């Protein structure tokens, strides 16, 4: 068992997380829920991969379109080439430009049939589109995306104005280039060689749907995150209130109980709550009630002890003060006998008081053993006979019921209860009287009844006989022979073993009283 001065092993100390040292419970609940939503909000950054995937698919499409168109142009006449450029431009919303081997523009789908698409002027768009472009730029900056050059129509109409045409001619393969339109939508250009004579084809597409798809997905996700954040905050605050508010109420009540400023502080039991906080509230309330009872019992016990010790002390002081003033030997002998009697009485009181004060603590730490009540009582009766403590009374042990009369408890303490009950019966039994001890077992309980043929105990006194220092003794008994703690100690021991101690009339209707020890029967394996 560890004492306050015993060092605690580091492995046994509770681990404290650094972030829980100062943060309140409400803050922690909000943090846990918001962190989860922050991880969800982080998925906004993964939309960049979605955009890249869409662009990669469009690059493949642009490459295929440019290659197929270039192959078709090779086998077509000049007139057929213009018709093909015009048809593909309208159907695919492309701008197709054909350059001869000298790099001169010989055909432009926009010149042949008008533009199949137009680039949007940002100045004509509503404010939220500008906000979307700013958000796009911010995402690119956070993700470290490479810069994309702007798309501008060159004044020079030759092939040299387009770097992708020069690169595709030099490498003799299709080359893809990405640029941003003024409204920050992607413009995909594909340059492909037409045959082997040096002619080149340039296709241009404004893929506004890619930007719109990414922005729509981002907006939907942002709305979901915002709604989830609002709901999470409200639920977190509600959860925090349902947890923190009753805990604070319990803390305030506990502090008032600790300070002792209000003797009747009522710890809320929260009967409407069936969760762990309700269980905690009721446990604290019960603990506070038990603590108050214990404090009251200690206060009453201290007052009773002072009162009980004060009487023999006063008698002892009076005898000792008178002893020096008396010269008569017989009177001095009587005063000395009174002093000795008072000293013994004080010694008996101190012994009983010390025993009564440590019973609860000892039993709370004791290991219970299997006790056969019948055998224990038989041994106690035999030991008393050997010591001559029965004063000529006949004690008869009777067994009723089937099965072993076994209980769980501390043998020495249960024996102390039996001894106190036998002492009480011997004191009230007439000379040469009989004392009946009956051990009865039922399915769940064991009863040990000690019955005498004395004057009995009045109904009004049956509860008081178990109070400390309350004693009704036979008239023939010398004053001070009993401390008045015997039955109180016996009752305390019985209750510590989940039992009871009570007074009833004799079962046969004869004069006398029965003290009944009721204990739970040990469960048979």
Per residue in 491-521, pLDDT (tens digit) is: 888 888 888 988 888 888 788 888 899 999 9
What pLDDT score does 469 carry?
59
Let me know: does 518 contact 447? Beta carbons within 8 Å.
Answer: yes
- Residue 96 clears pLDDT 90, i.e. is over it: yes
Cβ atoms of residues 270 and 246 within 8 Å? yes
Query: Please, what is the average pLDDT of the chain?
Result: 80
pLDDT tens, position by position, 411-448: 888 888 898 888 888 888 888 788 889 999 988 899 99
What pLDDT was estimated at residue 8?
47
**The pTM is what?**
0.47
> Regarding predicted confidence, which is higher, 61 or 285?
61
- In the chain, residues under CATH classification 3.30.565.10 are 366-520
Q: What is the band of 36 on the pLDDT scale with cuts at 50, 70, 90?
A: low
All CATH 3.30.450 domain ranges of the chain, comma separated, are 43-218
* Each residue's pLDDT tens digit, 37-93: 676 666 666 677 778 888 899 999 999 999 999 999 988 888 898 999 999 989 999
For residues 463 and 451, the model is more confident at 451
Tell me how far CA of residue 503 lies from CA of 458, 469, 499, in angstroms.
10, 17, 14
Q: What is the rounded distance in angstroms from the CA atom of residue 307 to the CA atom of residue 423?
A: 25
Q: What residues pair up with 395 in beta bridges, in sequence order?
A: 435
Q: What is the dihedral of CA 187, 185, 50, 94, to 10 degrees?
A: -40
Domain with CATH 1.10.287.130 in the chain: 267-365
Domain 267-365 belongs in CATH node 1.10.287.130? yes
CATH of domain 366-520: 3.30.565.10
Does the pLDDT value for residue 158 go beyond 70?
yes
Q: What is the mean pLDDT of residues 181-206?
A: 92
Report the candidate in 174, 184, 169, 84 with the shortest Cα–Cα distance to residue 129.
Answer: 184
pLDDT digits (tens, 9 = 90+) for 99-149: 999 999 999 999 988 898 999 999 898 888 888 888 888 877 877 788 999
DSSP β-ladder status, 406-409 and 369-372: antiparallel
Buried b (16+ CB within 10 A) or exposed e, 317-343: eebeeeeeeeeeeeeeeebeebbebbe
**Residues 284-293, mean pLDDT to the nearest whole number:** 79
Instruction: Tell me the CATH number for domain 43-218.
Output: 3.30.450
3-class SS string, 102-115: CCCEEEEHHHHHCC
Confidence class of residue 476 from pLDDT cuts 50, 70 and 90?
Answer: very low
CA atoms of 23 and 27, how far apart (whole Å): 6
pLDDT score of 353 more than 80: no
**Contact predicate 116/93, CB 8 Å:** yes
Q: Binning pLDDT at 50, 70 and 90, where does residue 365 land?
A: confident
**Which runs of consecutive H residues, i.e. helices, occur in 47-123?**
47-74, 78-92, 109-113
Q: Which of 323, 338, 331, 381 is nearest to 478 (CA)?
A: 338
């Amino acid at each position: 068992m560890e004492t306050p001065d015993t060092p605690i092993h580091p492995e046994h100390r509770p681990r404290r997380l650094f972030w829980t040292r100062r943060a309140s419970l409400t803050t922690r609940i909000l943090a846990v829920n918001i962190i989860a939503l922050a991880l969800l909000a982080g998925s906004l950054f993964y939309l960049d991969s979605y955009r890249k995937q869409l662009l990669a698919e469009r690059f493949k499409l642009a490459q295929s379109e440019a290659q197929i168109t270039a192959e078709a142009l090779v086998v077509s006449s000049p007139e057929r080439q213009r018709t093909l450029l015009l048809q593909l431009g309208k159907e695919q919303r492309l701008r197709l430009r054909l350059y001869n081997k000298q790099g001169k523009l010989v055909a432009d789908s926009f010149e042949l049939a008008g533009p199949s698409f137009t680039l949007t002027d940002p100045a004509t768009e509503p404010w939220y589109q500008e906000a979307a472009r700013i958000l796009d730029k911010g995402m690119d900056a956070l993700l470290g995306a490479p810069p994309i050059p702007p798309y501008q129509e060159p004044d020079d109409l030759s092939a040299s104005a387009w770097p992708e045409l020069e690169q595709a001619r030099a490498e003799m393969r299709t080359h893809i280039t990405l640029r941003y339109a003024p409204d920050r939508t992607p413009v995909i250009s594909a340059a492909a060689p037409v045959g082997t004579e040096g002619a080149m084809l340039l296709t241009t597409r404004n893929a506004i749907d890619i930007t719109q798809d990414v922005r729509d997905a981002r907006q939907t996700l942002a709305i979901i995150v915002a709604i989830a954040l609002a709901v999470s905050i409200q639920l977190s605050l509600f959860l925090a209130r349902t947890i923190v508010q009753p805990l604070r109420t319990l803390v305030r009540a506990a502090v008032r109980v600790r300070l002792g400023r209000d003797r009747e502080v009522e710890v809320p039991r929260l009967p409407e709550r069936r969760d762990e906080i309700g269980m905690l509230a009721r446990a604290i309330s019960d603990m506070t009630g038990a603590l108050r009872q214990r404090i009251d019992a200690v206060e009453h016990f201290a007052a009773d002890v002072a009162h009980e010790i004060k009487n023999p002390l006063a008698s002892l002081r009076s005898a000792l003060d008178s002893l020096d003033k008396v010269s008569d030997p017989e009177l001095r002998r009587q005063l000395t006998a009174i002093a000795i009697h008072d000293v013994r009485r004080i010694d008996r009181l101190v012994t009983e008081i010390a025993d009564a004060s440590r019973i609860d603590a000892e039993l709370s730490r004791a290991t219970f053993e299997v006790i056969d009540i019948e055998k224990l009582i038989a041994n106690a009766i035999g030991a008393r006979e050997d010591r001559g403590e029965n004063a000529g009374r006949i004690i008869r042990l009777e067994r009723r019921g089937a099965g072993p009369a076994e209980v769980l408890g501390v043998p020495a303490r249960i024996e102390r209860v039996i001894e106190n009950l036998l002492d009480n019966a011997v004191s009230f039994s007439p000379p040469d009287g009989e004392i009946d001890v009956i051990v009865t077992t039922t399915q769940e309980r064991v009863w040990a009844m000690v019955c005498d043929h004395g004057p009995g105990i009045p109904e009004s006194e049956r509860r008081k006989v178990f109070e400390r220092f309350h004693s009704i003794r036979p008239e023939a008994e010398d004053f001070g022979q009993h401390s008045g703690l015997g039955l109180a100690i016996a009752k305390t021991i019985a209750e510590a073993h989940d039992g009871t101690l009570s007074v009833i009339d004799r079962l046969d209707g004869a004069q006398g009283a029965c003290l009944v020890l009721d204990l739970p029967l040990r469960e048979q394996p």
